[in-house]
Every structure is written in structure tokens, then in C-alpha cells.
Structure 1
Amino acid sequence: MTPTLGALPLEPYRPDLVAPPVATLLSASELAARAYVAEIDPALADTQALNDAFGLDADLGANCVVVMGRRGADERPAACVVLSSTRADVNGLVRRTLDVRKCSFAPQDWAVSQTGMEHGGITPVGLPEAWPILVDRAVTQQAWVVVGSGLRRSKLVLPGAVLGQLPGVVVLDGLGTPA
């Protein structure tokens, strides 16, 4: 049964509505059967615009940000997934978890080229296998979560628990802090 999330036009997963790395991961697993997509105007890809347009609560969405930690010459990329109503604790919990001295958001062009996804659509589904994916436990406790699809023209909807079971995921308490 297709979930109802505000007025978001959900339909069963379609590979043409997600970025290639997302389709590869979903198609190679049982996750495709539990996934839904919503085709949207790319101008609505940003969280607040999406929430306003479709009447979504901020806790229905999860943002995925790519960070880069550094310890000397060693660079350690990772992704952080937090509820849309919060911000990732990049300089605290993320920095300690990655065991780095400095941590910041990765440059946009680099993140896009490394993920094969569009800026504003990056999702934890289908990220490079070597990257840790840090997910706030609050995300995994949501019945359904709206995340990027890898494209700005659609959103992917999955049970929150599924995001905690993706390859490379580390579930952390307190990753998302009040915005």
C-alpha cells in the first residue's frame, strides 16, 4: 500500500526517476520493493520548498550532506543523514566519529563528481562503498522518510529503518542537533 505523505505524489519505485548509482543499489537488493518515488519540479528539490509545496512536516524528510574530514594529509569523506528539522553535528560528533582533526562540508563539485548524483539530490542510497554513512537514530525511527533520489527532479521515500541498514551505515544518537 502506497504511503500518504502530505500531497507528495508517490508511486512505486521507478529506476528512471533516480540517479544511476541509486538504481544500481536498489535493483541489486530487495529495497526496490519497499521504495517509492515522487516526481517533482526541480525548483522544489530544496527541503523548505518541498515541505511548503506538499504540506510535509520537517521530520518526514532527511537531508544527506557530504563531509570531508582531514587528519594531516589523510582525507576521509563521509555522508551524514539527519532529519530535515536538524543539522548534522559536523564539528563535534562527526569529527570524533571519523577520528579527524578538521571536518567540513565537501566542495559541491567534488561531491557531485564522486557520488554521480546532482547537487540538491544527494542521497545515502548508492553512495561510494568506501564511505561511512552516518545516520542519526531519529531518522531510522521514522515510519517513512523522504530523501533525495540522486536527481533534483524526484524524491525517494523509504521506511526509516531501511536507511539504518544500508551498506556502510553507522547509526548514531545525537547526530542531528536543533537547527
Structure 2
Amino acid sequence: MRAPIGDFATATPAPEALGLLPAPVAAALRTWSGPVPADQLLHVDTDPDKADTAAFIETYGADLLHASANCVVVAAKQGGERRLAACLTLPATRADINGAVRRRLGARKVSFAPREVAVGETGMEYGGITPVGLPADWPVLVDAAVAALPWVLIGSGARRGKLIVPGKALAALPGAEVVEELALPLPESG
């Protein structure tokens, strides 16, 4: 099967690739429900050595620059308690953790979760964390621009491989909330 975005050799319905996915992602796909059938979620093989954005785009297609989303884990603190959440944003942006994210989570302070916390709490590999299969009690803040995409390339939970899903599937994940202006543009490099 051909992937709807990117230049990948093949795309496999994700339920047929469960053995390539970390346990929490595979479990989420086994019990998948929502507006998009599970067999419309696709798995594509990728080289983990080409994970850097520039190398990834050069290898798998320039269209992915505008059809991908990054998933970051954040830690929100309020009243001495810490709560973890995920934010899904376009690659040319960064989650507005001091503004939109903090307000949405009702927190006094929000920061990016340390690597060991993100990996330990998700059961996924750093650099491959995906919103599919996150703990059920986590808020998943999805930038409206991501949810509006017809197809979105996201992590698979592992460094090798990615998932391609309709944006509306992300908006229907457990704990998901679509947020307008969740992210800020990255500063121009020059």
C-alpha cells in the first residue's frame, strides 16, 4: 500500500504492524474506537539515523514538513502536585507552555518533562513518543492546525517507524482537546 503523504516504500495498516510497536501503542490500536477505523491508521518504516528534521525531509519527502506533528510531554505543577500531559504541534512551531498550555491545564507552572520521566511514564522511546497509547488520564492538547490536516505523520512510540493518521483521529484520542493557537511559531534562524 502507498502512503498518502511522504516517500515511503510501503505503508501497512497499523493493526498489522503491532509487533513493531511498543506495548502501550499496540494496546491502544487493539482497542481502537473513534471516527476513523483502525485500519486507516498506517505504519511506515523509517531509518532512526535519519530522524533529524532536515535529513528526514530529504529522505522521505518535503511535503512532510507541513504534514507532521511533534508530540512533547509536559509537567504541570499546581498546589504541590505534578500532572503530566502531551502537546501535539506542527514542526515549525513550539508548544506555548507558558501561555496556552499553562492556562488549559490550570497550572501555576508548566515545563517540558525530563527525558527519563517522559520515557518512563509513556513506555515509549525518546524521539518516538506518540499521542496514541498515552496513559488514559493524561490530557492530550492537540493544536487545531494539526487536527485540521487530512493526514499527519506522528511518532510510533519507537525511534524506528512512524504512524500516518487523519488529523480528526488525533482529535478523538482519549483525553484529547483541540486548542486554537496552542503553539507559537519558531523564531527565524539566520
TM-score by length of 1: 0.94
Q: Name the SS for the 2:62 alignment partner.
A: coil
Match in the other structure for 1:82 = 89
Report the Cα distance in structure 1 between the residues aligned to 2:77 and 2:109, rounded to whole angstroms: 5
- CA-to-partner distance for each residue in 1:133-162, whole Å, 9 max, x for gaps? 000011111111000000001101101110
8 A contact 2:3–2:11 mirrored in 1: no
Match in the other structure for 2:11 = 11
- CA-to-partner distance for each residue in 1:91-120, whole Å, 9 max, x for gaps? 100001111111110000111010000000
1:50, CA displacement in angstroms?
1.6
8 A contact 1:10–1:36 mirrored in 2: no
8 A contact 2:2–2:8 mirrored in 1: no
Match in the other structure for 2:61 = 55
Q: 1:47 to 1:18 in 2, by over 3 A?
A: farther
Percent identical residues:
47
Match in the other structure for 1:172 = 179
1:16, CA displacement in angstroms?
1.9
Q: Name the SS for the 1:113 alignment partner.
A: helix
Q: Name the SS for the 1:6 alignment partner.
A: coil
With 90-99 and 43-52 compared, the bigger mean Cα shift is at 43-52
1:34, CA displacement in angstroms?
1.1
Note if 1:149 corresponds to 2:152.
no
Q: Which amino acid aligns with 1:99?
A: G
Note if 1:112 corresponds to 2:137.
no
Which segments of 5 or more consecutive residues in structure 1 lack a partner in the other structure? none
Which segments of 5 or more consecutive residues in structure 2 lack a partner in the other structure? none
Write out aligned runs for 1:17-56 (5 A): 17-30=20-33, 31-56=37-62
Q: Which amino acid aligns with 2:26?
A: A
Q: Name the SS for the 1:61 alignment partner.
A: coil
TM-score by length of 2: 0.89
Report the Cα distance in structure 1 between the residues aligned to 2:86 and 2:54, rounded to whole angstroms: 21
CA RMSD of aligned residues (A): 1.4
Q: Which has the higher strand share?
A: 1
8 A contact 1:37–1:155 mirrored in 2: yes
Match in the other structure for 2:104 = 97
Q: Which amino acid aligns with 2:80?
A: A
